Amino acid sequence: MKTTERVEQAFKRIKELLTLVTDWTKQPKEEDALTKEFREKKLQLIEDLYKQLGELNDRFMFTHESEFKTKEYVVQYDALKKKIHDLEK
């Protein structure tokens, strides 16, 4: 192979690599309907879990200790926080 052919092939490989990098870093212009719906449902689930967490806190603060013990509160609180954390990933 001649030097000019090697240089031309190297330029072609560089061009291919640059197009791959631009494709990987480019953000999609429009999301498809399924992805958009999935993201909205996920956000709604997270919002609902935060509401449940608030209700749990209210229940713990304003009920008698005999009805709702601290251990039950901690178990339920940790379960809700874990669900929220998993969905926010």
| Chain segment 49-85, per-residue pLDDT in tens | 999 999 998 888 887 666 677 888 889 999 999 999 9
33-55 tens-digit pLDDT: 888 888 899 999 999 999 999 99
> What is the residue range of 21's domain?
3-88
Torsion of CA 24, 30, 31, 37, to 10 degrees: 160
Give the count of domains, the chain.
Answer: 1
Distances (CA, A) of 50 to 7, 41, 69, 80: 60, 14, 21, 8
What pTM was estimated for this model as a whole? 0.61
* Single-letter residue type at 89: K
